[in-house]
Structure 1
């Protein structure tokens, strides 16, 4: 028997395998190039908990040491020590040579939600003398601790979830400075605003940061770049623009600050349609320049090359997330229509009008979720996953040759599994728009049989599916289902026009894209059973699942995970009330008719599909009432339905969802499909 035949006999991913997945990320390369720090997250099913461990990896000996639970923040400039934080907010410094650590200070978090890209980071000064960090004021008693709650602000809720308060404490986050040798922390910024996402100037005299200092920061989602002098504590505003700013990083020569930015007049603290782009700002303030607008892709994870000549960044493109670099001397990029995969005619070409290339340094298939450069800039360490492999860390040395694996945390258990590959396809939607999707076959497929098909829908609505590891797909495949997932209009990775495709029209063109994709797959794969279809999705994917069951009866079963049902009530109860304003172009009370028109609940009387609702009890992003409204309506109609509430859980596939609850959620999803699809006469 050849290796391929042997592999085919192995089982696919099952619920018990969820406890074996080891998540790696957050790499930090030491300045002396000798060591790597990374995060390792393990699921503990017995304790129903997860452990976040700091791993110290020697690049010289390929040996690794578990430092203990916590989060690594920064290396000292000489590479001999690093700063890390334990779960109680205590900051420590670990000495690599002596293996001893010392307590530095304690940092506090606020439960006030700023935005989804805010960094409460801790960084070491370039001269090695100080640690700057973000910390909240002394905790203010939250409303949940009072018998009578008085609310007079807009962002009075927190993100919620395990161990997190349901209501915001409204403590403000500020910048503190403490000597690296220890001592009393010094407050650098104060006032009634939050500071976050800090970066040192190369001369260690200033810290740049992000702050929303509008007169109504709860309501107006706008932010700018500021800086503070670490000696005089004088604060200077560096930008004054319409839009949001994120994650500034100072250039090595000190002349510029690069940051991510949007320019829309109506912002949102979560899931914006507008793609972020790199902005280049003179360090002393003044007009800044957008560098990557013509790339027409969403930019993330920016890093300066040590020479200061380039900025490295990640961008999603048609299901892959790759690393690029751009010269700050000639930043304009031209996106040309090179149709190399028979797909999107807006695929990225890296040749600009000045004949200077923007290089794609690392590319797919796969998704790169983080990277770091070495101190000389001729090597790169990155985190990458693909459809059949959870994320691992890789290294490229001495230029950009082949990558070698640093971690193989999931290699052993994957060797005993047969995970099905994802086959990508393109199709023309109802209006001729080219749309991309993927199909995963059921494990052990026999093409003489007919198989049911499950449509999985992503959240956002501006997320992007692609060549990334998603256990849901493999669990369904192992259970005997084919799985299709599609990037309908609204998804990022296909240009700003495509990303804008859901604005003022949730569940419109994207619904038609999904249905056209289902028809395309069924027509091309005769082994699929068109009479046995299921649908599921999380967050906006849950919204679309609810929308689908009110518009068609072609699906035999549906599972809604943390989904929206009533956009009118969502606009008044969600932590993300700004999302409705950003997506629908104004205040919710001026858009109630449109919000109701796009609400699944409006047409719930048409629904006949057996539907399971899965939802976190303390979900403030998509409140539990969204599931209740849909569930009650279906129950009164006599449609088979069930509502499952996860006590203390927040929103989505995030760390607060404990291992047992995550296993339970997936198990219930499969059991529901088995009952109403697989076992249907």
Structure 2
């Protein structure tokens, strides 16, 4: 007998992620669970051994950045020591972990050198605080100090106010434990790859105008020679990896042709000739994983990887799925594994790939995909008991046309325990981004709503990834236009298809961009009987100056410059507050620096001023990612408030 999904199920779901294959082809992975008593996330390292799972670490902590040395003698990972992330070594034969680094500001990422004799790692050094300067450890007498700010990038969601730091690259000798600085300065260095013993492939964001610099420049440096620039589009360098023979670079880059709506693309660069080939030019889909989900933890993105001197595999966000493709240095591409699924982790050898895969009815497991036989073999069963014991709803795929004829894709869940002849309310759930997408993946929040007796509609309006570049770009400068039409067309399509949906009991919710759209919807239609807006935007004029990304995001997305108050106000949901008659619950995190809580405050006061039906719930110690990585008890509270509001207003 199965049970329905509950809000408390976040404590029953395990997240298996970040698979790695060692030189001996043994596989390691991270498994994360939420500890209700500790009110925290616990991530431990496991190894697949003779068909069984062998746990390698046991401490109540969060691990990341698993790497295997090429000789398979060591593994390294990053974990906290004295409240700072440091590099630890673990012998593959067994034994206790060994702390390798003691960096006062902690370590960002790390990897072994090709010969296994060194570890390269990234640290962030505070400006003006050199290697030899130690801070006082005695904080008891410390007095409050002012923070002097002279940069626009001075804060970040989940981090708060930022000290002026720059990422440097260091190396430590595993035998002598002596460390050295390879790259440092008032710019952020990233070491992507080492070829042989003295060829460095790295990038830097050096700029004369750092406030408006969103570009990384890629270089190859051979020994003491001057670095040679590798041509890339203006924008970010997502990943760079050298082929096993050291002749080519596999480059994933995110250009700026459409600002942050631009597809990530894959390229092969010939180190000797300088020729660069655009591999994914004909796909018109982004390289990598952009799915919106709420249960996967400790994910390490790996969009592309070499499997031989001339072949590589890569992930593509493709029509609501994330699929596995193969490519070659000649420019050929072909799909290897396409399905109604979400590949959210990958590592590969010449013969097979290890994939972390989720679907609507599976929170995620590891699989082995054989390149020759095309056989997909399940390796882990960390969520088997949960899936077998729980009634999980697998939604139907839907496709419909928006008002202007644009084709829109999405999904519709029937209520759990659905019976013919009944009448059921429906909730429309809108994703954030806007350049993320709902996909063929497990989504706990959707399952909870279905278990509460609601039909659940979730679609990918224009602006969503996994479709064409023109579709992703179409939302920019048109917030509340075509995207609004897409969502409302979905509501009309599905309510017209199923007469058991109670037309008088419809709800709408969403977070971030989805919160903006929820605010916009209730200000432009009374179609919904109740609404819940989460971590939302209501006023683009103030958002520009208070969000950690506001000063450029508003330029890029609303396409309104600083003085264009009329356009920013036109796209601001608070402008239409007079028309809001739908009871609206406002959920917002106190430490949200992405969509700051003043956005929720403005909307709440405007609604209360006009004596509208509303309520404001503020979550302490939570940032913009509350629904995904927030404190477990607050995640429970968020879903409880959300479902209670709909339970109150939807019959």
TM-score, normalising length from structure 1?
0.87
Partners in 2 of 1:448 and 1:601 — Cα distance?
Answer: 40
Shift of 1:286: 4.7
Q: Which residue of 1 aligns with 2:493?
A: 520
Partners in 2 of 1:644 and 1:32 — Cα distance?
Answer: 52
Whether 1:311 aligns to 2:312 is yes
Q: Which residue of 1 aligns with 2:335?
A: 360
Q: Which residue of 2 aligns with 1:226?
A: 219
Match of 1:155 among 153, 177, 191: 153
The verdict on how the C-alpha distance between 1:122 and 1:400 changes in structure 2, with shifts beyond 3 A counting, is farther
SS at match of 2:3: coil
The question of whether the paired residues in 1 share the 8 Å contact of 2:305 and 2:347 is answered with no
Match of 1:80 among 73, 76, 85: 73
Whether 1:32 aligns to 2:33 is no
Equivalences for 1:362-511 in 2 at 5 Å? Answer: 362-374=337-349, 377-397=350-370, 399-511=372-484
Partners in 2 of 1:187 and 1:316 — Cα distance?
Answer: 38
CA RMSD of aligned residues (A): 2.2
Partners in 1 of 2:618 and 2:609 — Cα distance?
Answer: 19
Q: Which residue of 1 aligns with 2:124?
A: 136
Q: Which residue of 2 aligns with 1:583?
A: 557
Equivalences for 1:58-137 in 2 at 5 Å? Answer: 58=49, 60-68=50-58, 69=61, 70-87=63-80, 88-107=84-103, 120-137=108-125
Partners in 2 of 1:145 and 1:307 — Cα distance?
Answer: 58
Partners in 1 of 2:277 and 2:77 — Cα distance?
Answer: 35
Shift of 1:302: 3.5
Shift of 1:19: 0.9
Q: Which residue of 1 aligns with 2:292?
A: none
The verdict on how the C-alpha distance between 1:54 and 1:327 changes in structure 2, with shifts beyond 3 A counting, is same
Q: Which residue of 2 aligns with 1:622?
A: 595
Match of 1:185 among 179, 183, 197: 179
The verdict on how the C-alpha distance between 1:553 and 1:414 changes in structure 2, with shifts beyond 3 A counting, is same
Q: Which residue of 2 aligns with 1:251?
A: 243
Superposed CA deviations along residues 309-341 of structure 1, whole A, max 9, x for unmatched, are: 12311111111110101122134xxxxxxxxxx
The question of whether the paired residues in 1 share the 8 Å contact of 2:325 and 2:334 is answered with yes
The question of whether the paired residues in 2 share the 8 Å contact of 1:75 and 1:82 is answered with yes
TM-score, normalising length from structure 2?
0.91
The question of whether the paired residues in 2 share the 8 Å contact of 1:108 and 1:137 is answered with no
Partners in 1 of 2:144 and 2:184 — Cα distance?
Answer: 27
Once superposed, which parts of structure 1, at least 4 consecutive aligned residues long, lie more than 4 Å away?
107-110, 138-141, 233-236, 284-287, 653-656
Shift of 1:71: 2.1
Deviates more, 1:394-403 or 1:16-25: 394-403
Equivalences for 1:544-563 in 2 at 5 Å? Answer: 544-563=517-536
Higher strand proportion, which one?
Answer: 2
Partners in 2 of 1:224 and 1:362 — Cα distance?
Answer: 33
Superposed CA deviations along residues 184-214 of structure 1, whole A, max 9, x for unmatched, are: 2211111100123x33233132232232112
Q: Which residue of 2 aligns with 1:298?
A: 286
| Structure 2 gaps, min length 5 | 130-134, 136-141, 289-301
The verdict on how the C-alpha distance between 1:43 and 1:102 changes in structure 2, with shifts beyond 3 A counting, is same
Shift of 1:100: 3.4
Superposed CA deviations along residues 458-515 of structure 1, whole A, max 9, x for unmatched, are: 1110111121111111000111111000011111111001111101111210100100
SS at match of 1:294: coil
Q: When the two structures are aligned, how many residues end up with a matched partner? A: 619
Deviates more, 1:254-263 or 1:617-626: 254-263
The verdict on how the C-alpha distance between 1:15 and 1:55 changes in structure 2, with shifts beyond 3 A counting, is same
Partners in 2 of 1:189 and 1:293 — Cα distance?
Answer: 33
The question of whether the paired residues in 2 share the 8 Å contact of 1:442 and 1:483 is answered with yes
Partners in 2 of 1:535 and 1:464 — Cα distance?
Answer: 17
Superposed CA deviations along residues 638-670 of structure 1, whole A, max 9, x for unmatched, are: 111111111111112466401100011001100
The verdict on how the C-alpha distance between 1:228 and 1:647 changes in structure 2, with shifts beyond 3 A counting, is farther
Shift of 1:402: 2.3
The question of whether the paired residues in 2 share the 8 Å contact of 1:91 and 1:103 is answered with yes
Q: Which residue of 2 aligns with 1:352?
A: none
Shift of 1:633: 0.7
Shift of 1:571: 1.4
SS at match of 2:201: strand
SS at match of 2:480: coil
The question of whether the paired residues in 2 share the 8 Å contact of 1:273 and 1:500 is answered with yes
| Structure 1 gaps, min length 5 | 1-5, 111-118, 332-357
Partners in 2 of 1:654 and 1:381 — Cα distance?
Answer: 28
Shift of 1:277: 0.4
Shift of 1:521: 0.1
Match of 1:649 among 622, 639, 646: 622
Q: Which residue of 2 aligns with 1:346?
A: none
The verdict on how the C-alpha distance between 1:415 and 1:273 changes in structure 2, with shifts beyond 3 A counting, is same
Superposed CA deviations along residues 395-436 of structure 1, whole A, max 9, x for unmatched, are: 124634322222211111221111111101111111111111
Partners in 2 of 1:240 and 1:314 — Cα distance?
Answer: 20
The question of whether the paired residues in 2 share the 8 Å contact of 1:452 and 1:482 is answered with yes
The verdict on how the C-alpha distance between 1:146 and 1:673 changes in structure 2, with shifts beyond 3 A counting, is same
Partners in 1 of 2:67 and 2:403 — Cα distance?
Answer: 50
Q: Which residue of 1 aligns with 2:231?
A: 239
Partners in 2 of 1:95 and 1:78 — Cα distance?
Answer: 11
